[in-house]
Structure 1
Amino acid sequence: MYKQLAKSIREFKKDSIKAPVFITLEVLLECTIPFVIAQLVNQIKAGCEFRVIAMYGIILVAMAGLSLTFGIIGGIASATASSGFARNLRKDIYYKIQTYSFENMDRFSTSSLVTRLTTDVSNVQNAYMMIIRAAIRFPLMLVFAFIMAFVMGGKMAFIFLVVVPILGFGLFLVIRKVMPIFKKVFRKYDALNTSIQENVKGMRVVKSYVREEYEKKKFDGAASDICADFTRAEKILAINNPLMQFCLYTVMVFVLFFGSYTIITSQGMDLDVGQFSALLTYSFQILSSLMMLSMVFVMITMASESASRIIEVLDEDSSLANPLDGQKIVKDGSIDFERVSFKYSETAKKMSLADINLHINSGETIGIIGGTGASKTSLIQLIPRLYDTTEGVVKVGGIDVKDYDLEALRNQVAVVLQKNVLFSGSIKENLRWGNKEATDEEIIEACKLAQADEFIQNFPNGYDTYIEQGGSNVSGGQKQRLCIARALLKKPKVLILDDSTSAVDTKTDAMIRKALREFIPETTKIIIAQRTASVEDADQIIVMDGGSISGIGTHAELLKNNPIYKEVYLSQNKAGEQDEE
């Protein structure tokens, strides 16, 4: 896990090394200063001249200045390294997600991926800063202060060998109790973010059904659950401070009592005033280092769960393997399904598609119709390899889709999915997702084919009109037509419209189909629709039922031979019923 995370350090290795080096120098000086002060106190007690005091003063000021300088350099280096590490880590996670297939995306919820990119990376970033700064500083401080305490205090320093294990054992118990709490709290973060995402995305539905209070209660439940876990953790962690204070004051009382007694009576140990003052300083350094180390361990414990969640994303390999020397050229828009079966996961008991055999000639217009859950979308998603078949082969241009370079295949198989998505930016910027090199003339031509040019021209800023997030400032029908135009700019061999004209009126729908038939006759056009009117003029119509093909034929043939198609047609068309009579 740590090797995988370390790959994201990259150009910040220099700062990651510089931070602990300068922190070490800072600690050495901090631990040496009490020793110098002890010498100064002894010199003053012996009645030294002012010249000696001034010399010690200059040395102490220089040491303090160097310690401050080293601390600042170390702090800047650790901040730079941790921030850069977090930036690279977010970049690596985001880039990894871009390689995912739909199957991979199905394993992670959107809210979970957002949590991993934000909260989890922030936790790992803070832990990394702790590791290269605090996790270096406080162990070194502990070791050096121990050594100096024995040098200055002699046998009296053995008090630390009694107190430190007690404090360490107490901190171990605290951390052991806190770890399980932090491990489960991040799963609850996912639930909280899911609640927020659903509420914001579905705000219109929430307000339409007056469900604000219900959503508030759902959010409060998730937030309160997280609050309760963190409160429990903080209550346990709160034991740290009084435990440390108890050990600190116990040591202080011991050192003050026996140190004072020794100095006054000059018995038992050779301890002078300077050594005594230094021993008190080292006592505080040792115990405060232990206290801070416990906080470092808690931070690392919390971050370790975040790190494992990040690694889950980075270690997830795309279920779609892109061949190294994949075919770059799609010869034509012919499509073949040869004994194709498909299910969305290995654990699924039933196939979504079963034993599909199908041939589509290049340039044909194919309609696909069927009830909800008939697997119409599942069928077309196999063509551009959004999913891979479980059994059988799908061919485009006579070649297995698995043998194509993914980018080359998807550039020639344009899909307007059922859920239309527009991004923040101008209309032109959204349309150029189809072809980033498209000229203004090509954009206008594609919009005319998609029957979008007229309403765009009516906007005050025309093609420079800004699209709000999610396309909230355009209607459903306008959004569909913009998505169709975007797909047309790819100039594909195969164009798939997955119920992409459901929000437009029948007249506009007919005009779009007419434009596609006349202006891109060589492109294979597959139209999934709920209305039979949208596919009546197709060369062939495929009727789907329960993951299988129920019938294939023209409109007239299916009316005669296919009861499913006939039922759908009659239910939508009263004129058809009169003709039947």
Structure 2
Amino acid sequence: MLKLIKYLKPFAVSIIVIIILLFVQATCNLSLPDYMSNIVNVGIQQSGIENAVPDVIRKNEFDKLLLFMSESDKNIVKNDYILLDKQNLNNTDLNNYLKDYPLLDKEAIYKLDTSDKDEINKLNLILGKPILIVSGIEKNDFKAPSMNIPKNVDTFMLLSKMPKEKLKAMKENINKKFENMPDTMITQAAVNYIKDEYKSIGIDVDKLQLKYVLVSGLKMILLALLSMIAAVVVGFFASRVAAGLGRNLRKQVFRRVVNFSNSEFDKFSTASLITRSTNDIQQVQRLFVFLLRIAFYAPILGIGGIIKVLNTDTTMGWIIVLAVGSIFLLVGVMFGIAIPKFKSIQKLVDKLNLVTRESLIGILVIRAFNNQKYELKKFDIANTNLTKTNLFINRIMVMMMPMMMLIMNLIMILIVWVGSHQVDAGSMQVGNMMAFMQYTMQIIMAFLMISLVSIMLPRASVSAQRICEVIDTDITIKDPESPQSFNKNIDEKGKIEFKNVSFRYPGAEEDVLSDISFVAEAGKTTAFIGSTGSGKSTLINLIPRFYDVTSGQILVDGIDIRNVTQNALREKIGYVPQKGVLFSGTIESNLKYGNEEATQNEVIKAAEIAQAMEFIDDKPEGFNTEISQGGTNVSGGQKQRLSIARALVKRPEIFIFDDSFSALDFKTDSELRKALKREIKESTVLIVAQRISTIKNADQIIVLDEGKIVGKGTHSELMKNCDVYRQIALSQLSKGEIAS
């Protein structure tokens, strides 16, 4: 899988954008529980009052609070509040203040004169306990005996006149009551005092509460929208990157396969190459979509959630550990069961493709032998094996999600149970418990997403390995580092010479061809004949370097073909394979396959030489007639004639006909050979044939038997001195034909 990372380099900018947007998305999602907690804690429970720092307070209440502060705290509080008195305000300011604080008309009030968060946090710590003390005294929560103050006496007036030492001792005695009280409870108790104070001043507390809830709710909506936009854009970029990666991998695989020699094709079946180019790349592409959207996002969300949880409440952190541990245990078990099946599934897809391809290609033979049931059974076995494996994996996946949901729901119940006890004890607020639940879910979902990616990883890794096997396959036939060029100034171009050539297939123990030596002169026809398996097609395939010789040399125009580029060599060759191969398109596009710049007259002339005009003219659209995939809408003989015409349009110096006349009737074969002899008399012609009649008039006939040359010469010469050739001729020709 790591080998494929280098193919992501062209998409580096997009990946950076994705990571930035994922940070934005995660930040937005991690902020939402905080706002929800504030709506519950502050907006609902505290009526929109955020802390123990009142925005405004009556002067007499302010003075009461100062009684229970140290001198340094008094100075801080006095510096952060300003006194509003109608006697000291001009009419304009007074009218403006009266709209918000109607009580100002009757008595002076203090107004908070700072918006600095750090300063407000400092005031919150200072004012909390004094507010509780004043509130307790006013509500008679602190009984007079405990304070040694007589009944029916103005407590605060008495306290203001009390000696400092005695007042200090009394404050210490009262403070002991708050030692074990959590800060959240102090703030909530102080908020009730502030709420009553606001009502006394004439502030609409309900309006204040509604404003806080609406503002917080609006912020949540904006964050949710921003998160959604980020997620959509991330999805867009991730899909583009993954699609681009898939495109580049397909291009790289195809480029490598196109350069394969026959030796490399022997390592991979056609069905396997198709699967690797489609299904395997699709698996990798799908994984990278998840990786780009989840593999980066999940850690950001998980780590951010853990940090938020630690800031919210550390006493329930063990629940997070329990949840994550349970998920890892579940995923580990599922992982261990599913991985072996993931590794086998791609091989089963290969097998199904192979069986399907063989059945479709050989459908006529299957019908002819009435063997449909056997092929259907073979297909059913491959299909059933793949289906069973897929079902097994899908069952594992189906079981996984309900079990994940069960774990999540049990964790929720556990959080509510533990959190409710803490709420009851006053050490946690309801909103904080709800935020903790949300953060826990985000952490669990982060690890769940990582787990899902890790489950996809084995199958995609197998696919990536199979893709890399093709891309990293060492091509045995390569161009030389310092290639030579063919001499364009020589008179006779296309001369071929074999010098002591031997060849064996990779992995074989014996040579297929042994000590082959001959010269094919330009302007002459050299034919090859022999029994089946004698090495005729193998010998022909060495000339375009479909294989490289094991030993010896093949020279074209006096240059070893291994010392020139494959393109330069193959430019000189017009190759007609044993089995006619046509491509999807028109007849004209097929004939121009080797020479796109060919004129219409050249195309027509090539078709006439190949005896193809008779059936082309019969078609309503002529050369514009569509050829279906594989040329299935033309006969075998028509395929061969079109393949020959395609080679003629190229006008090469060397023609190779690998048993290319086998599907032609004798009349067409004879006329075609006469036309070829007349039209390509300057080219080197190599013909592999099974029929003596096809090669009888060749300038040179080479007879092969078990990979060795057993005869060389003209027809008449070989009839006299080559037993193998004579036996072939006697089996095919009458005495009159032999004599002629």
Maintained 8 Å contact 1:412/1:490: no
Q: Alpha-carbon deviation of 1:9? A: 2.9
> How far apart in 2 are the matches of 1:414 and 1:8?
37
Residue number in structure 1 paired with 2:386: 226
Maintained 8 Å contact 2:309/2:317: yes
Summarize the alignment of residues 416-427 of structure 1 with structure 2, pairs less than 5 Å apart: 416-427=576-587
Residue number in structure 1 paired with 2:226: 66
> How far apart in 2 are the matches of 1:374 and 1:391?
18
> How far apart in 1 are the matches of 2:15 and 2:504?
47
Task: State the secondary structure of the residue aligned to 1:8.
Answer: helix
Q: Alpha-carbon deviation of 1:7? A: 3.5
Which 4+ stretches in 1 moved above 6 angstroms? 577-580
Residue number in structure 2 paired with 1:469: 629
Opposite residue 614 of structure 2, the aligned amino acid is E
Opposite residue 298 of structure 1, the aligned amino acid is I
Opposite residue 297 of structure 1, the aligned amino acid is S
1:45 aligns with 2:45: yes
> How far apart in 2 are the matches of 1:361 and 1:65?
79
**In the TM superposition, what whole-angstrom CA distance separates every residue of 1:93-127 from its partner, at most 9, and x where no partner exists?**
11111111121111111100100111100100011
Residue in structure 2 matching 1:263, options 416, 419, 423: 423
Residue number in structure 2 paired with 1:121: 281
> How far apart in 2 are the matches of 1:83 and 1:520?
49
Instruction: Indicate how the Cα distance of structure 1 residues 576 and 369 shifts in structure 2: closer, same or farther if over 3 A, else same.
Output: farther
Residue in structure 1 matching 2:661, options 488, 492, 501: 501
Maintained 8 Å contact 1:116/1:306: yes
Residue number in structure 2 paired with 1:6: 5
Q: Alpha-carbon deviation of 1:221? A: 0.7
Opposite residue 530 of structure 1, the aligned amino acid is Q
Residue in structure 1 matching 2:268, options 108, 126, 138: 108
Residue in structure 1 matching 2:483, options 312, 321, 326: 326
Residue number in structure 1 paired with 2:153: none
Q: Alpha-carbon deviation of 1:464? A: 1.2
Opposite residue 28 of structure 1, the aligned amino acid is T
Opposite residue 18 of structure 1, the aligned amino acid is V
Residue number in structure 2 paired with 1:535: 695
Task: State the secondary structure of the residue aligned to 1:221.
Answer: helix
Residue number in structure 1 paired with 2:17: 18
> How far apart in 2 are the matches of 1:157 and 1:251?
12
Instruction: Indicate how the Cα distance of structure 1 residues 10 and 429 shifts in structure 2: closer, same or farther if over 3 A, else same.
Output: farther
1:442 aligns with 2:599: no
> How far apart in 1 are the matches of 2:480 and 2:739?
54
Task: State the secondary structure of the residue aligned to 1:337.
Answer: strand
**Structural RMSD (CA):** 1.7
Opposite residue 712 of structure 2, the aligned amino acid is I
Residue in structure 2 matching 1:290, options 441, 444, 447: 447
**In the TM superposition, what whole-angstrom CA distance separates every residue of 1:108-152 from its partner, at most 9, and x where no partner exists?**
111001001111001000111111111112222222222222222
> How far apart in 2 are the matches of 1:150 and 1:578?
101
> How far apart in 2 are the matches of 1:441 and 1:578?
39
Q: Alpha-carbon deviation of 1:154? A: 2.4
1:409 aligns with 2:569: yes
Maintained 8 Å contact 1:244/1:288: no
Maintained 8 Å contact 1:178/1:237: no
1:85 aligns with 2:84: no
Residue number in structure 1 paired with 2:76: none
**In the TM superposition, what whole-angstrom CA distance separates every residue of 1:480-513 from its partner, at most 9, and x where no partner exists?**
1110111112211110111101111112212221
Task: State the secondary structure of the residue aligned to 1:340.
Answer: strand
Task: State the secondary structure of the residue aligned to 1:356.
Answer: strand
Maintained 8 Å contact 2:573/2:653: yes
Maintained 8 Å contact 1:248/1:283: no
> How far apart in 2 are the matches of 1:250 and 1:576?
98
Select between 120-129 and 16-25 the one with higher mean Cα deviation. Answer: 16-25
Q: Alpha-carbon deviation of 1:10? A: 4.6
Instruction: Indicate how the Cα distance of structure 1 residues 507 and 577 shifts in structure 2: closer, same or farther if over 3 A, else same.
Output: closer
Maintained 8 Å contact 2:486/2:559: no
**In the TM superposition, what whole-angstrom CA distance separates every residue of 1:519-546 from its partner, at most 9, and x where no partner exists?**
2211111111111011111111111111
Residue number in structure 2 paired with 1:32: 31
Maintained 8 Å contact 2:526/2:702: yes
Q: Alpha-carbon deviation of 1:224? A: 0.9
**In the TM superposition, what whole-angstrom CA distance separates every residue of 1:307-359 from its partner, at most 9, and x where no partner exists?**
000001111132111124423436512111111111121x2011110111112
Select between 114-123 and 210-219 the one with higher mean Cα deviation. Answer: 210-219
Maintained 8 Å contact 2:554/2:560: yes
> How far apart in 1 are the matches of 2:655 and 2:403?
70
> How far apart in 1 are the matches of 2:315 and 2:384?
53
Count how many residue pairs are aligned between Structure 1 and Structure 2.
Answer: 575
**In the TM superposition, what whole-angstrom CA distance separates every residue of 1:263-320 from its partner, at most 9, and x where no partner exists?**
1233xxx210110111111222222222222111111221000000000111113211
Maintained 8 Å contact 1:428/1:464: yes
Gaps of 5+ in 1: none
Residue in structure 2 matching 1:526, options 686, 699, 722: 686
Opposite residue 585 of structure 2, the aligned amino acid is G
Q: Alpha-carbon deviation of 1:239? A: 4.2
Instruction: Indicate how the Cα distance of structure 1 residues 377 and 226 shifts in structure 2: closer, same or farther if over 3 A, else same.
Output: same
Maintained 8 Å contact 1:328/1:409: no
Task: State the secondary structure of the residue aligned to 1:47.
Answer: coil
1:377 aligns with 2:537: yes
Select between 114-123 and 508-517 the one with higher mean Cα deviation. Answer: 508-517
Residue number in structure 1 paired with 2:711: 551
Q: Alpha-carbon deviation of 1:198? A: 0.9
> How far apart in 1 are the matches of 2:222 and 2:409?
31
> How far apart in 2 are the matches of 1:578 and 1:256?
103
1:315 aligns with 2:483: no
Residue number in structure 2 paired with 1:344: 505
Residue number in structure 2 paired with 1:174: 334
Maintained 8 Å contact 2:579/2:640: no
Select between 508-517 and 544-553 the one with higher mean Cα deviation. Answer: 508-517
> How far apart in 2 are the matches of 1:456 and 1:220?
42
Task: State the secondary structure of the residue aligned to 1:517.
Answer: helix
Summarize the alignment of residues 125-204 of structure 1 with structure 2, pairs less than 5 Å apart: 125-204=285-364
Opposite residue 16 of structure 1, the aligned amino acid is I
Opposite residue 430 of structure 2, the aligned amino acid is V
Select between 535-544 and 20-29 the one with higher mean Cα deviation. Answer: 20-29
Task: State the secondary structure of the residue aligned to 1:350.
Answer: coil
Q: Alpha-carbon deviation of 1:579? A: 6.6
Task: State the secondary structure of the residue aligned to 2:554.
Answer: strand
Gaps of 5+ in 2: 49-207
Residue number in structure 1 paired with 2:436: 279
> How far apart in 1 are the matches of 2:626 and 2:407?
64
Structure 1 length-normalised TM = 0.96
Maintained 8 Å contact 1:244/1:287: no
Structure 2 length-normalised TM = 0.75
Q: Alpha-carbon deviation of 1:578? A: 9.3
> How far apart in 1 are the matches of 2:324 and 2:297?
18
Q: Alpha-carbon deviation of 1:576? A: 5.1
Q: Alpha-carbon deviation of 1:8? A: 2.9
**In the TM superposition, what whole-angstrom CA distance separates every residue of 1:1-47 from its partner, at most 9, and x where no partner exists?**
524x2343354332222222212210111011101110121112012
Opposite residue 497 of structure 2, the aligned amino acid is D
> How far apart in 2 are the matches of 1:405 and 1:413?
13
